[in-house]
Amino acid sequence: MRIRRDYTRQKFRSRRQRPGCFSQVLLIGALVGVAIVFWQWLGIGQPFDVMPPDDRLASATVAFARGDLDSAIVQSRQRLNAQPDDVGALKLLTRALIYRSYSDYDTARDRDTALAFTTAAYARRPNHPEVAALHAFALQAVSRPGAAADVARTVLEAQPDHALARTSLALAYGVARSYEVALRESLRALEALGTPTTADDALDVLRALAISYSDTGDYNAAVQTVERALTLNDRLAALYFERALYAMQLGDVDAATVAYYEILAQQPENVKVRLRLCELSSLLRERETALRYCDEVTTRAPAWFEGWYHLGREYFLQGVFLEAQTAFQRCTALQHTQQIAISERRIECWLLQGQAAEIRGDCSRLVAIYNEFRVMAATGAIDQTWEYPPEGPPNCASGADPQGGAGG
């Protein structure tokens, strides 16, 4: 299957207008009016916000429904600033931030932002069930399952059929790797939808249930469930990424491809989906296509080390070792610069860079990268092993540092 996309620019011709007469009094009045408006604008420190608070929330709701999470976040945040105790605005903002956090490579921090908003609201209104459920929802999203479960249970003790609280509890169990319990709670959340609920709750419940099915190995059920979620909102990139993941778990490459291209059609600038298409093309041994997508990733997101890893890997698999070594070197340098914790580093960038250097006979770089690896391994934070004899790499023994060192 090949999908082609063509990217129009309209040109407008300016027309010279003839000078006309204008009353001096009217001119002065207009200038004074502009000056007053400008002065008022300076006084409040921001442009006029003529939209009533209720309209902002309605507009944010519409934006979420069409997948415009940026607008949904801005407008619901404005509403919350005007009405800090508006639970509807808090719910929309929290959900929009969390769904956006899974949509691209640089949006994960949105989960922390969501937690900051729910923490403030929960501190003011700890006994409000919807606020507490939202706080639990945000806590599990930042991998704090214990705290999320505790908060969710306080809601469920009083309201056992609270769908969002039950969903948050299910997701918390999933984060804690108690997958069977997570599935049980997800099914209970689905049952709770029989009581008065909202489409938003149904979307969250179905997504959580699909995740639980996937975690327990029932990938067909996961696919069917996430497709039900997509019938409620087919404009959320996060759902398509999860749809593609479940398809890949079934070996359904075509369905995964369709899901990725749906994201690309809706979000032409999305970087994360290009990385996934690079991985998929590599799996299918479509080397040139994989290189093209990976190159687009590094061009659009040059500070994302994952892109350089995958680009280097593609070059390595094609036997283009100089280009591979260069890409891996960018990958390791970025992780140093960004102070990525050793336990969270992409260690393959060191290992494959070393292999590429050894194949090319680049002893100086091989010794440097090997010594970097030894320093990291000495911390006990990584599981991978890479050892040479005490005298160092073969054919490079004279340049090895038996004590190790932090190479550049």
* Residue 393, domain member (yes or no): yes
How many other C-beta atoms can be found within 10 angstroms of the C-beta atom of residue 198?
Answer: 12
pLDDT in tens, 53-77: 568 899 999 999 999 999 999 999 9
pTM of the full structure:
0.83
The pLDDT of residue 274 is 99
Q: Which two tokens stand for residue 215?
A: 């975690």
Distance CA 366, CA 355 (A): 8
Q: What is the pLDDT along the chain (408 residues), one digit of tens a residue?
A: 333 333 333 333 333 344 444 344 334 444 434 443 443 443 333 333 445 556 889 999 999 999 999 999 999 999 999 999 999 999 999 999 999 999 999 999 999 999 999 999 999 999 999 999 999 999 999 999 999 999 999 999 999 999 999 999 999 999 999 999 999 999 999 998 875 567 899 999 999 999 999 999 999 999 999 999 999 999 999 999 999 999 999 999 999 999 999 999 999 999 999 999 999 999 999 999 999 999 999 999 999 999 999 999 999 999 999 999 999 999 999 999 999 999 999 999 999 999 999 999 999 999 999 999 999 999 988 999 999 988 888 888 654 443 333 333
In DSSP notation, 221-264 reads: HHHHHHHHHHHH-TT-HHHHHHHHHHHHHTT-HHHHHHHHHHHH
* Residue 89, domain member (yes or no): no
Q: Which two tokens stand for residue 290?
A: 């994989």
* Residue 228, domain member (yes or no): no
The pLDDT of residue 52 is 57
Q: Are 168 and 147 in contact (CB under 8 A)?
A: no
Q: Are 132 and 148 in contact (CB under 8 A)?
A: no
* Residue 367, domain member (yes or no): yes
Distance CA 204, CA 224 (A): 15
* Residue 344, domain member (yes or no): yes
pLDDT in tens, 353-383: 999 999 999 999 999 999 999 999 999 889 9
* Residue 390, domain member (yes or no): yes
Q: Are 331 and 354 in contact (CB under 8 A)?
A: no
Domain count, the chain: 1
The pLDDT of residue 264 is 98
In DSSP notation, 328-379 reads: HHHHHHHHHHTT--GGGS-THHHHHHHHHHHHHT-HHHHHHHHHHHHHHHHT
The pLDDT of residue 309 is 99
Return the ∠ at Cα 304 (arms to 261 and 297), rounded to 5°: 35
Name the residue range of residue 392's domain: 334-408
* Residue 340, domain member (yes or no): yes
